[in-house]
Amino acid sequence: MSSTWELKEKSTGELTATVEGDTWKDAQKKAFKKLAKKVNLPGFRPGQAPEKLVRKQISSQNILMEAIDEVAGDALSAGIIYSIINNKDPKYVCEFATCASALKHSILGDANLVELSDVERLMYEGVGKIAR
């Protein structure tokens, strides 16, 4: 995943994240499967209805949001929040959040076990190994 930050007028900006095709396709499939488990259709057990019928019940917006969460996750949001709270410039916000997300996705489970120094080492030195 890569990202860019474009400064707009009045202290606003646009964050653009680019995800490789296969990664994005896999995230969309996983998002659909997750949402499909929650669909209840009369005559079918939850998660057992035909895909064609289930797709009619799930908006493309919901699949998009779930796929974004799958690819970027909480680590991206946390990186953005950390950077803003600490009054970092927009370029730092973008790079820090992207690197935090990339490092988090190298760790199994929900807990983000990376430290500030790990993220900044990836940002400035391009080193993605976590030093302990």
pLDDT of residue 32: 93
Q: How far apart are CA 126 and CA 115, in angstroms?
A: 15
Two structure tokens written together for 23: 């990664």
pLDDT tens track for 65-116 = 888 777 777 778 788 888 888 999 888 888 888 888 888 877 777 677 788 8
Say yes or no to pLDDT of 8 above 90.
Answer: no
Which of 116, 77, 119 has its CA nearest to residue 129? 119
- Backbone φ and ψ for 15, nearest 5 degrees, come out as -95, 125
pLDDT, one tens digit per residue, over 9-51 is 766 666 677 777 788 888 899 999 999 988 889 999 877 889 9
User: CA–CA separation, 29 vs 37, rounded Å?
Assistant: 13
Q: What's the pLDDT at 15?
A: 66
d(CA 113, CA 24): 24
pLDDT (0 to 100) of residue 105: 73
